A and B are shown apart, each in its own frame.
Chain A
Amino acid sequence: MKRSLSTLLASVLVCGAGLNATAADGEEQFIAVLQSAQSPHEKDAACARLKWIGTEACIPALAALLADEQLSHSARYALESMTSPQAEDALIEGLSKTSGMLRVGIINSLAFRADEKADAPLAPLLRDSDPATAAAVAEALGHIGGAEALKALEQARQASAGTSLPAIDDALLRCAYASRESGQRAEAQRVFQELYDTDKSEAVHVASFRGLLQTSDNALPLMTAAIKGEDGGSQLAALQLVREVKAAGATEAFVQLLPGLATPVQVSVIDGLAQRGDTAALAGLLPMTASEAGDVRLAAIAALGELGDETAVPVLGKFVVSGNAVEKKAARAALLKIRRGNVTESLLKELAQADPSAQAEFGRLLGERADRAVVPQLLQMAGRNQARSGSLQALAMLADGSVIPTLVEITVASATDDDRGQAAETVDAVCQRMQAKGAPLNGAALFRALKNGSTDVRVALLPVCGGLVDESARQILRDGLHDSDARARAAALGALCVTHDAALLPDLVRLASAGQEDRSRLLAIRGCVRLMTQEEGLKIDNAARIDAFKSILAAGLSSDEKRALLAGLAATPDPRSLEMIVPLLDDNAVQKEAVRAVIQLAPALPDAPAAAAVLRQALSKTMDSETHQAGERALKALAAKSP
């Protein structure tokens, strides 16, 4: 095989050898190493190389090392994976030249190669006095399989009472499976049956019964009998096959078993049916949700998630409404998964019939299932005050901008503040989602209602404007601040103070810089700080921030207002921020916050020595050890930045 120089060298390195081979060295060179007086280290490396490139030419040299205590493993390393029949012959010959672990190693290599040619030389060693040899031979015959190996193993099993029995049993299992795979089903079944009838270990008991179930013409009756029966090993093997056995009518047979089984076995069969995925089990699973045993109920609920259709919805719905916490969680998960039949229609029915307290559950489920075809029905229900709360909850998750006018109508038509508030929250949720997607807002109806609606309507819908980035919304908020009704003014202020709209910053700054201290000014200052320093995706440069903060600070602030402002200054990495903070270090009411602001701000400033000086000055104002520790960390960061 043609190979590049680099590959050759790299592969020698990969093999971990320190071989003194050169690029010109080929197989002959490695053979020469094996036949020389070079060190075991060199010979081991040559074997490693020959594993890759060796041909029949190197086999005699490798074979000669099989009986070498130090190098036998190295020789097998190469020989074991060579497909040449001569490699097989060399290993077989090695059997008669070795004993103990060297011979076990050779037997293992023959096992790996699984060539029937090794049957005859190996078989007599099944009765070897060395238990490790006998066990290895059994394993090898199991790997090789075939009639001869099987015959030798069965004979040895009859005679064996010792340590090699597990290996013989394992080998017989391998032979039986090999027979099954080659179409000799009856032979496989005979071996499994023999092992099952005479097994001495639980492992073989389970394995042989499993084999029987996989080869028997009567697998299903055997399985059902085992599942119902008292024999733990057979039951275990049968339960494991519930999910995969192919026999006709199997699902129905397992379902029929369910009522008569003990609780843990019921759970196991239900889990198996769920993994089996055959919806024929559904009718039998539904009654299991009424089991007195909680574990069975839970297993059945989970299985309905896999196999259920719309008929399972009322059953699961009951658990969502009135089950215990674990059942509720499982039922919700199942209802989110069910995909057969008209589940949406069934959930709508449940929603329509649900108590007000349970509506939210079904509303959320409809929303999370994301079947948007249900939106018109939900709008009708909300409009008719039928399951209004749950319908609106679902609409908040499902509706798009096209239904905003209808939702506004529902808001306008609401009879109570609570109803209006919930409808407006739905409008808000839909608007937010549309805006986040960059989809058209379709807000004309909303803005009309805000301009022309009653005070109650304006109060309910003004918060929606706080979440919008839209010129009409801006104007409505600005106008709202001058509304003749105090509730509407308060709603407009509240909305303005949570705006995401950078264009409203000047309005907020104006409110925050107003001459008179009151609650609205504090809200406005907080709103300014949030909008300028915390709003995701919004970049307001430091110069604009500093201008705003200066304007606000000039208003003569209360302690709470100063604290709010300090948060903004600390998050604005500009030397002018520091200048504004310094006087506040001497203001006892906000000194603590001012020191913390310096600690946060200083490391982000470009002039590290100047910032460090102010930081030291700030730290001199406090005895608090935690603050000092934080200050020291900041000073270290500044020192690292200093030239």
Chain B
Amino acid sequence: MGAALAAPMIVPASALGRGGAMAPSERITMGFIGVGTQGGGHLLGGAWTYLTGGYSTRKDVQVLAVCDVWRGRRESACQKVNERYAEAYGQGNYKSCEAYTDFRQVLERPDIDAVLIATPAHWHATMAVMAAEAGKDIYCEKPSATTIREGQAMLAAVRRYGRVYQAGTQQRCEYGGKFRQACEFVRSGRIGKLKEIYAYRDGGGVFWPSRFGQGKPVPADLDWDLYLGPAPMIPYDGNTSPHRFDIGELNWGQHHYDIIQWAADADDTGPVEIFMEGNRSCYKYASGVVCYGKGYPGEPIGGDGGACFVGTDGRIAVDRDALVSDPPDIVREPLRPDEVHLYEASSHSGNFLECVRTRKQTICDANIAYHSSTAMLLGGVAKQLNRTLKWDPAAANFINDDEANRLLSIAKRPPWSV
């Protein structure tokens, strides 16, 4: 028997959002890594987010740490969290939130149960792996990985350490359940046999830029080295965008392919062929379904995170604003018990926290995130090579294609690795 550990980590399920006040010890303790627009929205709420008020207003969460490479951001976020807690629990009646520059210090804290990663995209998988190794449960923004090998490493680490992982592909829960309904209708055969999918966006990836040249002075309140992380050390140029190393649809692509994989019943697999049509990457699944990385002609619904599914008997299009079909009755009839019912959760953050408590599988777990990010990243490789590729989803390799296989990964700057 190993080191004596504290009392059971499972806490009363009254904290599952199922009602009731709770003691501080029953709250899930969290650290927020990256508190810019996306992470700040998760933490504090805001116009863009689906999470009203943010995690800092949830009674079942205690935010103990915020972390950002920008001093102003982390200090402002930390102050706001503490102000909210002072107001909610009374001055001195809560454990203060602390601000950190280096996320490793957050991971080292044994009193933190879970982290939310909303950093620039090139950090996501590396941090997720390190968080899993530190025994933290993880909510990680999309893209879950910027290379396919990173995605594999993320999945392996989450499994190795038995952690709960939720990808920030919230469409499976949010927006009134439209995406889930669309997938249920497609998988229930309401449009007949699924033949084609129009993804509205295609593949993406990451590249390391030219690393030499004249830089600007690094602002005193920025840790440029930690912003770059696994990317090469390049001179500071004023660009600290979360997507400065992106190729193609790295930012939004996973939202679309998450839903496409769900509808195509491909959460455990992926396409077997990637081909180019014009400058857009497209996919073939083993089932024969073809997925085009562009919109369905004349169909405006689908661009905002969605897709258009075409079957032998009809068509369904879905995005964050609408779920429509042709003929219209396809989506008007409620789902019958004998049809396909998919994992249902009405709150993406709530589902994550519930799973942290009960250890059940999240709606967008690491396996799903790996496969949906891989679908998107495969398109990125095809776009770079501008030719047809054959993919073995089980082996996670391009078939007899050394050139393409070299693009499955990208060397990281030391000490970072996965």
Please tell me if the beta carbons of B415 and A104 are within 8 angstroms of each other in the complex: yes
Q: Which stretch (B84-92, B116-124, B208-216, B310-318) binds chain A?
A: B208-216
Asked if B49 is at the interface of the complex by the 8 Å CB criterion, the answer is no
Report the Cα distance A510→B210, complex, angstroms: 79
What 1/0 flags go to A38-53 for Cβ under 8 Å of B? 0111001100100111
A239: chain B residues at CB < 8 Å are 10, 358-359
- Chain B: minimal CB distance from A635 (Å): 31
Report the Cα distance A231→B233, complex, angstroms: 45
Please tell me if the beta carbons of B8 and A230 are within 8 angstroms of each other in the complex: yes
- Chain A: minimal CB distance from B332 (Å): 9
Asked if B195 is at the interface of the complex by the 8 Å CB criterion, the answer is no
B134: chain A residues at CB < 8 Å are 203
Please tell me if the beta carbons of B2 and A198 are within 8 angstroms of each other in the complex: yes
What 1/0 flags go to A109-150 for Cβ under 8 Å of B? 101100000000000000000001001100100000000000
B232: chain A residues at CB < 8 Å are 73-74
Q: Tell whether A207 pairs with B209 under 8 Å between CB atoms, given A264-B13, A268-B358, A271-B358.
A: no
Please tell me if the beta carbons of A295 and B360 are within 8 angstroms of each other in the complex: no
Asked if B286 is at the interface of the complex by the 8 Å CB criterion, the answer is no
- Chain B: minimal CB distance from A337 (Å): 6
Q: Tell whether A369 pairs with B412 under 8 Å between CB atoms, given A17-B210, A264-B11.
A: no
Contact pick for A111, options B1, B6, B19, B417, CB 8 Å: B417
Please tell me if the beta carbons of A16 and B13 are within 8 angstroms of each other in the complex: no
What 1/0 flags go to B313-342 for Cβ under 8 Å of A? 000000000000000010001101110010
Report the Cα distance A369→B335, complex, angstroms: 8
B417: chain A residues at CB < 8 Å are 108, 111-112, 136, 139
Please tell me if the beta carbons of B13 and A299 are within 8 angstroms of each other in the complex: yes
Please tell me if the beta carbons of A267 and B16 are within 8 angstroms of each other in the complex: yes
Asked if B94 is at the interface of the complex by the 8 Å CB criterion, the answer is no
- Chain B: minimal CB distance from A247 (Å): 17
- Chain A: minimal CB distance from B90 (Å): 27
Please tell me if the beta carbons of A326 and B409 are within 8 angstroms of each other in the complex: no
- Chain B: minimal CB distance from A97 (Å): 15
Please tell me if the beta carbons of A202 and B409 are within 8 angstroms of each other in the complex: no
Asked if A237 is at the interface of the complex by the 8 Å CB criterion, the answer is yes
- Chain B: minimal CB distance from A76 (Å): 4
Please tell me if the beta carbons of B13 and A206 are within 8 angstroms of each other in the complex: no
- Chain A: minimal CB distance from B241 (Å): 15
- Chain A: minimal CB distance from B156 (Å): 8
- Chain B: minimal CB distance from A584 (Å): 38
What 1/0 flags go to B129-144 for Cβ under 8 Å of A? 0000111000000000
Report the Cα distance A414→B10, complex, angstroms: 58
Residues of A1-29 at the interface with B, using a CB-CB cut-off of 8 Å, are 1, 6-7, 10-11, 14-18
Asked if A479 is at the interface of the complex by the 8 Å CB criterion, the answer is no
Residues of B279-317 at the interface with A, using a CB-CB cut-off of 8 Å, are none
Report the Cα distance A337→B341, complex, angstroms: 7
Residue of B nearest to A205 (CB): B2
Residue of A nearest to B16 (CB): A295
User: Which of A177, A206, A274 counts the most chain B CB atoms within 10 A?
Assistant: A206
Asked if A368 is at the interface of the complex by the 8 Å CB criterion, the answer is yes
Asked if B79 is at the interface of the complex by the 8 Å CB criterion, the answer is no
Q: Which stretch (B30-38, B62-70, B255-263, B399-407) binds chain A?
A: B399-407
Q: Tell whether A272 pairs with B212 under 8 Å between CB atoms, given A11-B384, A170-B133, A295-B13.
A: no
Please tell me if the beta carbons of B133 and A371 are within 8 angstroms of each other in the complex: no
B12: chain A residues at CB < 8 Å are 263-264, 295
Please tell me if the beta carbons of A101 and B334 are within 8 angstroms of each other in the complex: no
Report the Cα distance A82→B408, complex, angstroms: 11
Residue of B nearest to A201 (CB): B135
Please tell me if the beta carbons of A77 and B247 are within 8 angstroms of each other in the complex: no
What 1/0 flags go to A324-350 for Cβ under 8 Å of B? 001000000100111100010000000
Asked if A323 is at the interface of the complex by the 8 Å CB criterion, the answer is no
Contact pick for A268, options B1, B10, B386, B387, CB 8 Å: B10
Asked if A157 is at the interface of the complex by the 8 Å CB criterion, the answer is no
What 1/0 flags go to A144-162 for Cβ under 8 Å of B? 0000000000000000000
Contact pick for B358, options A105, A111, A272, CB 8 Å: A272
Asked if B7 is at the interface of the complex by the 8 Å CB criterion, the answer is yes
How many chain-B residues does the 8 Å CB contact rule pick out?
A: 68
Please tell me if the beta carbons of B5 and A101 are within 8 angstroms of each other in the complex: no
Q: Tell whether A83 pairs with B160 under 8 Å between CB atoms, given A73-B411, A109-B411, A205-B5.
A: no
Please tell me if the beta carbons of A202 and B405 are within 8 angstroms of each other in the complex: no
Report the Cα distance A48→B210, complex, angstroms: 10
Contact pick for B210, options A44, A83, A326, A337, CB 8 Å: A44
Asked if A81 is at the interface of the complex by the 8 Å CB criterion, the answer is yes
Please tell me if the beta carbons of A53 and B403 are within 8 angstroms of each other in the complex: yes
Asked if A275 is at the interface of the complex by the 8 Å CB criterion, the answer is yes
A112: chain B residues at CB < 8 Å are 149, 409, 411, 417
Contact pick for A267, options B13, B207, B386, CB 8 Å: B13
Asked if B238 is at the interface of the complex by the 8 Å CB criterion, the answer is no
Report the Cα distance A296→B18, complex, angstroms: 10
A262: chain B residues at CB < 8 Å are 8
Contact pick for A233, options B5, B329, B360, CB 8 Å: B5
Report the Cα distance A638→B366, complex, angstroms: 55
B10: chain A residues at CB < 8 Å are 232, 235-236, 239, 264-265, 268
User: Which of B110, B386, B387, B410 counts the most chain A CB atoms within 10 A?
Assistant: B386
Please tell me if the beta carbons of A73 and B413 are within 8 angstroms of each other in the complex: yes
Please tell me if the beta carbons of B6 and A232 are within 8 angstroms of each other in the complex: yes
B336: chain A residues at CB < 8 Å are 369-371
Report the Cα distance A16→B207, complex, angstroms: 7
- Chain B: minimal CB distance from A583 (Å): 42
Please tell me if the beta carbons of B211 and A136 are within 8 angstroms of each other in the complex: no
Report the Cα distance A275→B360, complex, angstroms: 7
- Chain B: minimal CB distance from A289 (Å): 15
Asked if A80 is at the interface of the complex by the 8 Å CB criterion, the answer is yes
Report the Cα distance A296→B14, complex, angstroms: 10
Asked if B9 is at the interface of the complex by the 8 Å CB criterion, the answer is yes
What 1/0 flags go to A253-277 for Cβ under 8 Å of B? 0000000001111011001101100
Residue of A nearest to B12 (CB): A264
Asked if A447 is at the interface of the complex by the 8 Å CB criterion, the answer is no
Report the Cα distance A336→B402, complex, angstroms: 51
Asked if B217 is at the interface of the complex by the 8 Å CB criterion, the answer is no
Report the Cα distance A236→B7, complex, angstroms: 11
Report the Cα distance A104→B413, complex, angstroms: 9
- Chain A: minimal CB distance from B387 (Å): 8
Asked if A243 is at the interface of the complex by the 8 Å CB criterion, the answer is yes
Please tell me if the beta carbons of A177 and B160 are within 8 angstroms of each other in the complex: yes
Residues of B15-61 at the interface with A, using a CB-CB cut-off of 8 Å, are 16, 18-19
- Chain B: minimal CB distance from A106 (Å): 8
- Give the 9 A-B residue pairs with the shortest CB-CB distance, closest first: A203-B135, A295-B13, A105-B414, A16-B209, A267-B13, A104-B414, A240-B359, A199-B2, A81-B406
A-B contact pairs, 24 of them (CB 8 A): A1-B403, A6-B386, A7-B387, A10-B386, A14-B207, A16-B208, A39-B212, A40-B211, A51-B406, A73-B211, A80-B411, A112-B149, A201-B3, A204-B135, A210-B162, A230-B7, A233-B2, A235-B9, A268-B359, A274-B360, A295-B13, A333-B344, A337-B341, A339-B341
- What residues make up the interface of B, taking CB atoms closer than 8 Å to A? 1-3, 5-14, 16, 18-19, 110, 133-135, 149, 156, 160-162, 164, 207-213, 232-233, 247, 329, 333-334, 336-338, 341, 344, 357-361, 384-387, 402-403, 405-417
Apart from A205-B3, A210-B161: 19 A-B pairs, beta carbons within 8 A: A16-B209, A39-B212, A41-B212, A73-B211, A77-B208, A77-B410, A81-B407, A82-B406, A105-B413, A105-B414, A111-B417, A139-B417, A170-B160, A203-B135, A233-B5, A240-B359, A243-B361, A268-B358, A295-B18
